[in-house]
Amino acid sequence: MSLSRVIRGSLWLYISSIASNFLGYIYWLLAARFVDASTVGTGAAVVGVSSLITGLLSLGLSSGATRMIGRSAGIKDEGGVGAYFITALGISLLVSTVASLLILLYPGGFMGLTKSEASFVAILILVGGGWSGSLSVLFSATLRTYVNAAASILSSIFRLVIGIMLLYMGMGFVGVMGGYITASLVSDAVYLYMCRGVRLRRPSLTLAKELIEASMPSYIPSILGVAGTWLGVVGIFGLTGGEQTGTYYMAFTIASLVYTIPGTLLGLMFPVLSGMEDGRKRATNRAVRLTYALIAPVSALGIMYPWVPLGLIGEAYTASATALRILLLGTFVAPICSGFGSLIYAYGRYRLVTIMGVVGNVPRVLLYLPLVTLWGDVGAAVAYVAGYFASLVAAVVLSRRVGYKLEARVNATLAGVPMIVALAAGMLGVHWVVGTLIVAALSVLAYARLGLITREDLSEVSAAILSKKQISMIYPHTRYILSLLYGEDRTEE
């Protein structure tokens, strides 16, 4: 299997992740025009509870199925692909159906939800967890990730259109949930349609045992990961109610747009690093630097002007401005954690990967309850970010085992330049539009002049996105800007 296919497949996943997060923000931005923060909070709690339960029921199957289906695809065993796929799908459907029925039959409230709210949890588990997890694995394991991208983007678009339409009709909470259920159904439909031609086999107990055995090593870390993401939302809902849950959830959604960049961009490094025999550490540091250059200015602006993205949703959501600031602090260490995680994964140091996952999520799980009880949404933000700083400590300690230098001074400079400029702009009372332009311009200039981002880095980024013909057409128009940033380029003389 060629490396170019792996990289191309990873790029589709990156596009789908960015598009899904962005369209999710737009969905809530428009939804907030029709419902109050309390309704948004209740909807977020339902999604959070369903995600937690789906994670518990997953048995880590996505990891095991990816391994088994990928292995079968690698040796051109189409029958094996179909057999493992249908077996994994059967397990997921069985577990999710039983869980959904139990929730529907559960007397009274479920995890602080009313009977009607709990019914939406059951539906989301069935249409989302029961189908989508196993269906998506078939295409990611065989590197047809354009299908995953299409399913993600189309489902997000339908959630936006149908959900807003239902809200416009005055359906409130039901409309919010209708958008999510529609998204799951559309995603399932896309996957099922693209399953045409797959040579299906009967589910097998033997294969089911193999799948579960292959899935167990990733099960506990995956549960901790889901819990570390959603317990804050669910905890705020249970302790403070829907309104603060709604404002925090929107702050978390905005922060997630930034976290997506290091999470996906450095995740792309895994297949690249795996295919390299030498230079993995240098490549990792280079990718980390590029990631910092992308997210540090955005994070700095978000910390200095948090009310801008929150105020677009509604004045009530600015109450979680402090929570957003704290959440964005974690983005300054996320690139190091993600980059080191991809590196040790590529080295095959799976024990270290597990340690990183546990260290990053256990503090969140343990801190959510006491901190949310004390400080509400701010406590949830502190608990979430604590996981990233715990991962940073683990990366510093574990990096010695693989002889990896984290380039602390370089990364601190990349993060510090835009933050210092943003702080100065904020202290001087500069309007956020002008402040954005100043932070962007000075950060780019500093990165270039200090040699943190080189011409070669820009060339590689351009080559990954554009064709040679497009680059040759654009270059004459960018030479002047590049000369301002880097000085005169004398390589052509």
Is 344 within 8 Å of 353 (Cβ atoms)? Answer: yes
Q: Which stretches within 241-279 are classed as H helix?
A: 242-265, 269-274
pLDDT band for position 265 (50/70/90)?
Answer: low
More confident residue, 231 or 332: 332
Q: Would you say residue 492 has pLDDT above 80?
A: no
Is 37 within 8 Å of 246 (Cβ atoms)? Answer: yes
Instruction: Identify the burial level of 41 via C-beta atoms within 10 angstroms of its C-beta, where 0-12 means exposed, 13-18 middle and 19 or more buried.
Output: buried
How much is the average pLDDT of 204-229? 77
More confident residue, 267 or 402: 402
Is 179 within 8 Å of 164 (Cβ atoms)? Answer: yes
Of 28-37, 45-54, 100-109, 265-274, the least confident: 265-274
What is the C-alpha separation between 141 and 69, in angstroms, rounded? 6
Using CA of residue 396, residue 401, residue 402, residue 404, what is the dihedral sign?
positive
pLDDT band for position 228 (50/70/90)?
Answer: confident
Segment 248-257, tens digit of pLDDT? 988 998 898 8
Cα 450 to chain centroid distance, Å, stands at 31
Return phi, psi of residue 198, to 5°.
-75, 130
Strand ranges in 78-125 using DSSP code E only, listed in sequence order: none
Is 135 within 8 Å of 188 (Cβ atoms)? Answer: yes
Beta-carbon contacts of residue 232 (< 8 Å; ≥ 6 apart): 248, 252, 364, 368, 372, 380, 381, 383, 384
Cα 223 to chain centroid distance, Å, stands at 15
pTM given for the model: 0.78
Q: Report the pLDDT value the prediction gives residue 303, as an integer from 0 to 100.
A: 95
Which range, 24-33, 201-210, 394-403, is most confident?
Answer: 394-403
How much is the average pLDDT of 109-124? 77
More confident residue, 174 or 354: 174
404: alpha, beta or left? (left if phi > 0; alpha if psi -120 to 50): beta
What is the C-alpha separation between 294 and 461, in angstroms, rounded? 12
How much is the average pLDDT of 263-290? 65
Q: Report the pLDDT value the prediction gives residue 491, as an integer from 0 to 100.
A: 46
Of 30-44, 104-118, 155-169, 427-441, the least confident: 104-118
Q: Report the pLDDT value the prediction gives residue 1, as an integer from 0 to 100.
A: 40
Q: Where are the domains of the chain?
A: 1-236, 241-429
- Average pLDDT along the chain: 81
What is the C-alpha separation between 23 and 17, in angstroms, rounded? 10
Q: Measuring CA to CA, which residue among 347, 338, 429 is closest to residue 388?
A: 338
Q: Report the pLDDT value the prediction gives residue 130, as an integer from 0 to 100.
A: 62
CA atoms within 13 A on the CB side of 466: 13
Q: Report the pLDDT value the prediction gives residue 109, as an integer from 0 to 100.
A: 61
pLDDT band for position 277 (50/70/90)?
Answer: low
Residue matched to tokens 């309850």: 369
pLDDT band for position 121 (50/70/90)?
Answer: confident
Beta-carbon contacts of residue 34 (< 8 Å; ≥ 6 apart): 164, 167, 168, 170, 172, 175
Is 297 within 8 Å of 414 (Cβ atoms)? Answer: no
Of 9-23, 289-303, 405-419, 430-444, the least confident: 9-23
Q: Measuring CA to CA, which residue among 142, 1, 148, 2 is closest to residue 84?
A: 142
Q: Would you say residue 111 has pLDDT above 70?
A: no
Segment 24-57, tens digit of pLDDT? 878 888 888 888 888 888 888 888 888 888 888 8
- Point out which residues pair with 113 in neighbouring strands: 110
Q: Report the pLDDT value the prediction gives residue 285, as an integer from 0 to 100.
A: 83
Query: What proportion of the chain, given as a percentage, has pLDDT over 70?
Result: 84
Of 234-243, 275-284, 303-312, the least confident: 275-284
